[in-house]
Chain A
Amino acid sequence: MSGYRLSPNAPGGSQIDRSKPLDFTFDGEAYEGFAGDTLASALLASSVDLYGRSFKYHRPRGLLSAGVEEPNALVTLGSGARSEPNTRATVVELFDGLEAKSQNRWPSLGFDVMAVNGLAGPILSAGFYYKTFMGPTAKAWMFYEHFIRKAAGLGAGTKLPDPDRYEEMNAFCDVLVVGSGPAGLMAALTAAGSGARVVLADEQAALGGNLRGSGLSHDLLAKLSAHDGVTLLPRTTVYGYYDDNTLGAVERVADHLPVPAEGQPRERHWTIRAREVVLATGAIERPIVFGDNDKPGVMLADAGRLYVERHGVAPGRQVALFTNNDGAYRSVAALAAAGISIAAIVDARAQISPAARSIADAAGAELLLGQAVTRALGGQQLSGIAVATYDAAAGTSVGTARTIAADCLLVSGGWTPTIHLASQAGGTARWDETLTAFLPGAAHQPWRAAGACNGSLGTAASLAEGAQAGAEAARACGFASSPVSLPAATDEPLADAPLPVWDARPKGGKGKAFVDLQHDVTASDVALAHREGFRSVEHLKRYTTLGMATDQGKTSNIIGLALMARERQLSIPEVGTTRFRPPYTPVSLGALAGQARGGHFRPTRRTALHDWHIANGAEMVEAGLWLRPRIYRQGNETVEQAYVREARQVRESVGMVDVSTLGKIDVQGPDASEFLNRVYSNGFLKLPEGKARYGLMLREDGFLWDDGTTWRLSETQFLMTTTTANAAPVLSQLEFLLAAVWPEMKVAVTSVTEQWAGMAVSGPKSREVLAAALDGIDMSNEALPFMGVRKGHLNGVPVLVARLSFSGELAYEVYCGAHHGESVWTRILEAGKPFGMIPYGVEALGTLRIEKGHVAGPELDGRTTAEDLGLASMVSTKKPFIGSSMYQREGLTDPARLKLVGFVSAKGDKIRPGAHLVSAGDTASPPKSLGHITSTTYSPALEKYIALGLLEDGPNRIGETLVATYPLKNIDVEVEVVSSHFFDPDGSRMHV
């Protein structure tokens, strides 16, 4: 394309400021443009022809459009952490110092070795990858995939963290107007005039749409700005239409700047809840298919006009037009007015309007009626076109072609209304025979369409429709309409109704004929899909990937449907269309993530003792949202040395661990004990006051769900504890049962997890420590027996003390109000000083419980039953409870189920959690899995590596030797099957 910048004296260039030159680079080469240019217009002004290589065939590609629909000119912007691939050069606003690189070419844009794919064209047709590389085994695809992905593709993203900030906004308005062309401006003005709160959003750099730069748009925008309660959002794409009239939009706050200003977000995501929506989203011009229609130099007709009128750039020196409608003559008029030579006008219609003819005459262009362009000629750049007679009845060219020299061909195949948002909102598109296009269907949500989006392509009609839509929307919100005078605009003498011309080639015409330029889908791919039976629009789309590129087929979908309709000998509406999905144009992940990144991705929960842990050298570990001390490392201990030391100290003397993260639910009411009795699998009716009981909860399907101790504080009050992970789901389930299943029960449940700080004091010296720390509680075995609960005080602070043991040692849990947590914790540690008391972390906690064979999260994995884990005696057969019926079903009582057992490493090797258990002599690949390892530790008590695991027929295999295998790391460890109660199996230590 021999584009060039028009002289300042020529009409046009409304958006650029020639007094503000900007420097930028493309593929390392320096260029100059003006403020108000897009990257595309500035490159076109510098006579750049090549913008990228195509996805599959690596064919050279130029500019097709001047807007968001651009399929070809995708570039990578910026460098380093701000590098952004696949941006459309046609919508990138130029700034000083902009760096852009072309994509999908190697070694350079001008010379691409992969272009040889184009020679292999026939074999790279639709479904080629599936047919060739998927069979006969999956391994073939695994081998080829890497090479294929490298050869076919778009730009590469950066792996560096995003340095920019993104904001989230929630907006509420009466009327949201999407699009600020004539219809959108009038809709916003009319609604605002009635008193409605209006948001007007437009994806372009300035408001005005097709009126951008005109006196009319200045007038209307000035009037609009005078209204209070109007929010104008330029550079804002409304990309998604969701339920309850909620729309998603992204405002590009700083993408037109080299870097965002201090404190400025790069993009702002808007969630807009509108009572009424006016869709004034315009229409997108579509091309016509002919041979080599992807040749650089082939451009949409209206894009040619926009480059002249907005940017003062001529798309070529010898321009031809190929059209099937009158509207495209506007482009001829604009180019001719700017002094650009029009070589020929090729119009497929035999008759055109007098207005069109006078434009052609004024331009001095040769007018070829009833003819069509059959092929684009030239090498990497258009040098001419082949033109032949068009047989409208047959829908194909006939006869011999004549050649006309041209360096730019403007093409118009008519207009496709932008119905994406309407389609997302649920309306089924309706076919319009005059425009040969789909229009918005019936609205399921409160929106109305106006202007080109609604099929009214003329300015006067759009203004009127916009005003009406704005008035109706305001009225629907309850505002009395106030009349707004329509600006004077004469209706276009150039009607946009096209002659349906989809594929202008003669039968057997030469050259590749592209339907979807971005995904390299050709007309023959559509025919192939039809031959191979992929005929429904959904199959066509998936088999050929038509419309599935980043442009979502904005210029190609309708042509694809038309070609399939031709193959099937049906009408286009009979073939149908696919439904549009969000987003309308690509949305950056940063905008969607907003502030929810890094540590702000989700909340962090800290216990009341958190600061003490940090101050005392704890290394913290995540447990769900919680942070818990993992170990309190001393010197240069390893993790294993630290937890072994901590666990040993507990068994030998005494230690204390923060258990505040356990879920705690206050259960109160006259029916509380009956309620618990139905919720737990074991009995709770007869639990006496001042006693705690370990309970199991099942799911309705009979599997084990959660465990914990529940303490009876009074006749009608219990304190239930749950596992850390299930605290929230258990509360929700209890609330559900009380609301939906047993509404007659008088019970209230409340989460008190964060109200209590909890600490477990464990070890043979724990009784002496607490006797010294607490204010006069009788700690004797008689006064506070195993599972006993007492209320008391510590330094005057009210506490609950329960004699519970997770470690297998004599142990107590002390609960106090969260705000007293640290004072109670430090007082107990002080009392423990004479015994060498230490704090211990969750690693040692795990070691101690594994040595005892107590189950925790890794064993309660949602696939195990109480019986699997050796807890069958905790499941009552005398009462119904949640899960009682399903617990008995066949699959759960199958003797072949995996059962909990213990393992000891036979040769002193570490055992990996997740390792599978196999027979030592099993040489099959892979060997038969007999079960798996769930929890592992080094046991200071046994001085061996031990593990818990689930094993087929486990209890009957005790004494056998198996292999715990971890093929991903090639680790095999010989293990001996033992009872899961490694240490003190009769529990004598905790009953002292």
Chain B
Amino acid sequence: MLIPCPHCGPRDLGEFTYGGDATKDRPDPDRATAEDWNDYVFHRDNPRGRHAEYWHHGQGCRLWLKVTRDTVTHKIEGAETVGPAKREGTPS
């Protein structure tokens, strides 16, 4: 699998670590209920098809990426950096 890192270009899967479901936002600790936390920490969908995931380019630029991937075909639609300076990469 090649992940199109917006900073480094397409790179082999081996350079990345999977970081889990990117559709979950960490609850605001000032307002969140126990159920919110339970959902954030433990509950994950297991979608068939399009999915947003975090991947960490630990053996490269060390940026965290949000990757849109099809869980059936492993086809990657695109990737963007997560954080203050957003950049996008598309599969070549």
Residues of B within 8 A of A244 (CB): 1-2, 74
By beta carbon, the residue of chain B nearest A702 is: B41
Contact A739 B32 (CB under 8 A): no
CB within 8 A of A736: which of B32, B56, B75, B84?
A: B56
Contact A700 B40 (CB under 8 A): yes
Contact B83 A739 (CB under 8 A): yes
Contact B41 A886 (CB under 8 A): yes
Residues of A within 8 A of B62 (CB): 735
Contact B29 A735 (CB under 8 A): no
Interface membership of A741, Cβ < 8 A: yes
CB 8 Å contact bits of A173-188 with B (1 = contact, 0 = none): 0000000000000000
Contact A736 B41 (CB under 8 A): no
The minimal Cβ–Cβ distance linking B73 to chain A, given in whole angstroms, is: 5
Contact A243 B41 (CB under 8 A): no
CA distance A217 to B83 in the complex (A): 58
CA distance A738 to B84 in the complex (A): 9
Residues of A within 8 A of B41 (CB): 700-701, 886
CB within 8 A of A886: which of B1, B19, B37?
A: B37
CA distance A728 to B22 in the complex (A): 21
Contact A885 B73 (CB under 8 A): no
CB 8 Å contact bits of B9-42 with A (1 = contact, 0 = none): 0000100010100100010011010100100111
The minimal Cβ–Cβ distance linking A787 to chain B, given in whole angstroms, is: 28
| Those of A704-762 within 8 Å (CB) of chain B | 728, 732, 735-736, 738-741, 743-744
Residues of B within 8 A of A426 (CB): 73
Contact B29 A732 (CB under 8 A): no
Contact A740 B83 (CB under 8 A): yes
Residues of A within 8 A of B1 (CB): 242-244, 246
Chain A residues bordering chain B, tally (CB within 8 A): 23
Contact B83 A743 (CB under 8 A): yes
| Those of A244-290 within 8 Å (CB) of chain B | 244, 246
The minimal Cβ–Cβ distance linking A882 to chain B, given in whole angstroms, is: 9
CB within 8 A of A884: which of B29, B34, B63, B83?
A: B29
CB within 8 A of B82: which of A242, A444, A732, A740?
A: A740
Known A243-B1, A738-B83, A885-B37; judge A732-B30 contact (CB<8 A).
no
By beta carbon, the residue of chain A nearest B85 is: A743
Residues of B within 8 A of A732 (CB): 17, 56, 58
By beta carbon, the residue of chain B nearest A170 is: B12
By beta carbon, the residue of chain A nearest B76 is: A244
CA distance A893 to B75 in the complex (A): 44
CA distance A444 to B58 in the complex (A): 29
Interface membership of A889, Cβ < 8 A: yes
CA distance A884 to B56 in the complex (A): 25
CB within 8 A of B64: which of A246, A736, A880, A884?
A: A736
Residues of B within 8 A of A700 (CB): 40-41
CA distance A738 to B81 in the complex (A): 12
Contact A736 B19 (CB under 8 A): yes
By beta carbon, the residue of chain B nearest A244 is: B2
CB within 8 A of B54: which of A736, A744, A889?
A: A736
Residues of A within 8 A of B81 (CB): 739
The minimal Cβ–Cβ distance linking A582 to chain B, given in whole angstroms, is: 15
CA distance A88 to B17 in the complex (A): 40
Known A700-B40, A885-B29; judge A739-B2 contact (CB<8 A).
no
CA distance A741 to B54 in the complex (A): 12
Contact B26 A741 (CB under 8 A): yes
CA distance A880 to B74 in the complex (A): 38
Residues of B within 8 A of A739 (CB): 63-64, 81-83
Residues of B within 8 A of A444 (CB): 73, 75
Residues of A within 8 A of B82 (CB): 739-740, 743
By beta carbon, the residue of chain B nearest A751 is: B62
CA distance A886 to B17 in the complex (A): 25
Residues of A within 8 A of B56 (CB): 732, 735-736
CA distance A884 to B62 in the complex (A): 27
Name which of A701, A739, A884 has the most chain B CB atoms within 10 A of its CB: A739
By beta carbon, the residue of chain B nearest A749 is: B62
CA distance A712 to B11 in the complex (A): 37
The minimal Cβ–Cβ distance linking A989 to chain B, given in whole angstroms, is: 40
CA distance A942 to B33 in the complex (A): 49
CA distance A744 to B83 in the complex (A): 8
By beta carbon, the residue of chain B nearest A739 is: B83
By beta carbon, the residue of chain A nearest B83 is: A739
Residues of B within 8 A of A735 (CB): 56, 62, 64
Residues of A within 8 A of B84 (CB): 743-744
Residues of A within 8 A of B83 (CB): 738-740, 743
The minimal Cβ–Cβ distance linking B16 to chain A, given in whole angstroms, is: 11
CA distance A701 to B38 in the complex (A): 9
CA distance A444 to B42 in the complex (A): 33
Residues of A within 8 A of B58 (CB): 728, 732
The minimal Cβ–Cβ distance linking A969 to chain B, given in whole angstroms, is: 38
| Those of B44-92 within 8 Å (CB) of chain A | 54, 56, 58, 62-64, 73-75, 81-84
CA distance A744 to B74 in the complex (A): 32
CA distance A242 to B74 in the complex (A): 10
CA distance A370 to B34 in the complex (A): 77
CA distance A739 to B22 in the complex (A): 12
CA distance A483 to B36 in the complex (A): 65
Name which of B22, B37, B58, B73 has the most chain A CB atoms within 10 A of its CB: B37
Contact A889 B73 (CB under 8 A): no
The minimal Cβ–Cβ distance linking B65 to chain A, given in whole angstroms, is: 9
The minimal Cβ–Cβ distance linking B19 to chain A, given in whole angstroms, is: 7
Known A732-B56, A739-B63, A885-B32; judge A243-B17 contact (CB<8 A).
no
The minimal Cβ–Cβ distance linking A603 to chain B, given in whole angstroms, is: 12
CA distance A214 to B2 in the complex (A): 41
CA distance A677 to B84 in the complex (A): 21
CA distance A886 to B32 in the complex (A): 12
CA distance A728 to B17 in the complex (A): 12
CA distance A54 to B10 in the complex (A): 49
Residues of A within 8 A of B29 (CB): 880, 884-885
CA distance A886 to B29 in the complex (A): 11
CA distance A243 to B73 in the complex (A): 8
CA distance A700 to B24 in the complex (A): 13
The minimal Cβ–Cβ distance linking B9 to chain A, given in whole angstroms, is: 14
CA distance A438 to B54 in the complex (A): 39
CA distance A741 to B27 in the complex (A): 10
Contact A243 B30 (CB under 8 A): no
CA distance A241 to B58 in the complex (A): 26
CA distance A426 to B42 in the complex (A): 32
Question: Can you sample 9 A-B contacts with CB below 8 Å?
Answer: A444-B73, A700-B41, A732-B58, A736-B56, A740-B54, A740-B64, A744-B84, A886-B41, A889-B34
11 new A-B contacts at CB < 8 Å, known A243-B74, A736-B19, A736-B56:
A243-B1, A244-B1, A701-B42, A732-B56, A735-B62, A738-B83, A740-B26, A740-B64, A743-B83, A880-B29, A885-B32
Report A's interface with B, CB cutoff 8 A.
Answer: 242-244, 246, 426, 444, 700-701, 728, 732, 735-736, 738-741, 743-744, 880, 884-886, 889
Going nearest first, the 9 A-B pairs with the smallest beta carbon separation are A880-B29, A739-B83, A739-B64, A243-B1, A739-B82, A885-B37, A243-B74, A244-B2, A740-B82
